[in-house]
Structure 1
Amino acid sequence: MKVREIQEHLSKLDPELEVVCYSEDERLLVEKRDFILFDILAVNSTNAKRLRLEDGTPYLKFEKGPDSAVITTIEVTADF
């Protein structure tokens, strides 16, 4: 999702509402829970190269180089 798209969605909401993230990804879930909650710690931009690990997991290599691009990151934690 692009920054513009996030801004469009958020602009339709009350700016005083708290924002949390969640995931229903089964690889992240604890037994007997339907989702996991995340609190947002920071929003930044950085240089990174997108790649996949040997097992196919998406990954970022934080560096500036010919194969990298500026991306926006949202740092989250499951510890509220």
Structure 2
Amino acid sequence: MRKRTAIGAILTFAALAVCAIYFGWAIHFASGIGLGWRGLGSAWPYLVAGVLTVGCVLAAFVWLAFFSERRGYDDRAGGSEP
């Protein structure tokens, strides 16, 4: 393995470990705030709806980008002539 690849793998693993530790700490700390896990029950529908909405909007924008590229609409915007 090249030195550059090894450093990238180590940095990626370290970043993932830091994120996992942070999320674990945040979940543990948040469980003691307010009603704890019981209070989260009423928020689940709104959290799921928000995640689904963001996912659908993101998918629509990606679809529009590929649709525009396939139809050649981006070519008319200018740029260098062949």
TM-score, scaled relative to structure 1:
0.22
Larger Cα-atom Rg: 2
For normalisation by structure 2, the TM-score amounts to 0.22
- Quick check: which one's helix share is greater? 2
